[in-house]
Amino acid sequence: MTIFQLVLNIWLSITWESRAFLHNLWFYPLCLFLFWYNALVATHNFVHTPWFRSNLLNNLYAIVNSANLYSPVTHYRHIHFNHHRYGNDRQDVHGKTEDHSSTFAYGKNGESENVITYCALAILRDDITESFRQITHKESLQLYLECGTCLLAIIGYLLISWKFFLFFVLPVFYFGWFLTYLANYYEHFGAIPENLYANSTSHYGRIYNFLFCNEGYHQEHHLRPNVHWSQRPQVYENLRKQLDGVVRVILKFPPPLGFIHHRGKIETSVRQTVQY
C-alpha cells in the first residue's frame, strides 16, 4: 500500500493539471485514506516489527516511505517510542508530560485536552529537533537521508505542479495526520495512565481489526509492543486474567469513532483509580 501510495502521488502530480478540478476531487478520499492508513497501521507496525531481516532493506524502505508521510520515519519512531515509554502520562507538578503526544499535555485541571484542538494542533506541535537531539551517531545518516527525501518530494511536486502541491498535498498531509491523531486520542482517552493494564483502550470489533491489522487491540499492543500485529489477539488471551480483572475502556466503536462511545460520559481517567 505504501508503494502504491507513492506511485499514485507521482502520477497525480504529473497529470493533475490535465484534468478538471472536479475530476481531481475523486482522488481526495482515496489518498487521504492511504495517508491515514500508512501512518496509523503500516508505519506504526514497521517501526515495531520491521519488514525485512536486512537492515539495509529496512532503511531503504524507511527512506522511500518518508516521502509518503512528508516526515522522516526515524522521527516517527522516536516520537512513538517516547509514547510507549511514558504511556500517555499526566502532567507533573510543573505542568509537563514526558510523553510528547500525551492527551494530557495541553489539558487543564488534570483532564485530557479537547479532541478537536489535540488533533488540529498536533502536527503543528511536532518538534523534529527533539529527534535530532536524541539520535545516535549510527542513526544520524538515516535521519538526514529521510529528511532529504522529504525535501526532494516537496520540491519535486512543486516543480511538477505547484497547484497539486498547494491544493492536494498540503490538505492530505494535514488531514491525514489529523485523522491519525484522532485515532490515537481515542486509543487513550478515558484510560488510566497509572495502570499498566488500563492505560489504553481496546476495540474488539472483527471488521476493524481485520482491515486495520488488529489495531483495535491497543491495550494489548502497549503491554507487548514488539509482538507482531497478527499475534495481538493471543496477547489478550495470555493476559486475559489481568486485563479482565481491571475496569478499563473497551470501545464499542473503532477508535476513529471513539467520540460516539464517549458521548455524554465523564472522563474515565478522572473518576477511576484502579490499582494494579
At a CB cut-off of 8 Å and minimum separation 6, what does 136 contact?
none
Q: What is the pLDDT of residues 14-28, one digit of tens each?
A: 999 999 989 999 999
Residue 120 reports pLDDT greater than 50: yes
At a CB cut-off of 8 Å and minimum separation 6, what does 242 contact?
197, 276
Q: Which of 196, 197, 243 is nearest to 86 (CA)?
A: 196
Measure Cα distances from 92 to 25, 105, 108 in Å: 46, 10, 12
Q: What is the pLDDT of residues 61-115, one digit of tens each?
A: 999 999 999 999 999 999 999 999 999 999 999 999 999 999 999 999 999 999 9
Q: What mean pLDDT is predicted for residues 30-43?
A: 98
Residue 139 reports pLDDT greater than 70: yes
- Rounded to the nearest integer, the mean pLDDT of the chain is 92
pLDDT of amino acid 74: 95
Task: Please tell me the distance from the alpha carbon of residue 152 to that of residue 62, in angstroms, as a whole number.
Answer: 15
Q: Percentage of the chain with pLDDT > 70?
A: 95
What angle (nearest 5°) sits at the alpha carbon of residue 49, between those of residues 82 and 223?
Answer: 55
Residue 175 or 271, more confident? 175
pLDDT of amino acid 265: 57
**Side-chain-side CA neighbours of residue 36 (13 Å):** 21
pLDDT of amino acid 274: 38
Q: What is the pLDDT of residues 174-217, one digit of tens each?
A: 999 999 999 999 999 999 999 999 999 999 999 999 999 999 99
Q: Which of 6, 82, 86, 78 is nearest to 47 (CA)?
A: 78
Residue 271 reports pLDDT greater than 70: no
Q: What is the pLDDT of residues 155-164, one digit of tens each?
A: 999 999 999 9
Q: What mean pLDDT is predicted for residues 3-7?
A: 96
Asked if residue 104 lies in contact with residue 159, where contact means CB atoms within 8 angstroms, the answer is: no
At a CB cut-off of 8 Å and minimum separation 6, what does 94 contact?
none
Pull the grid cell for residue 80: 512513538
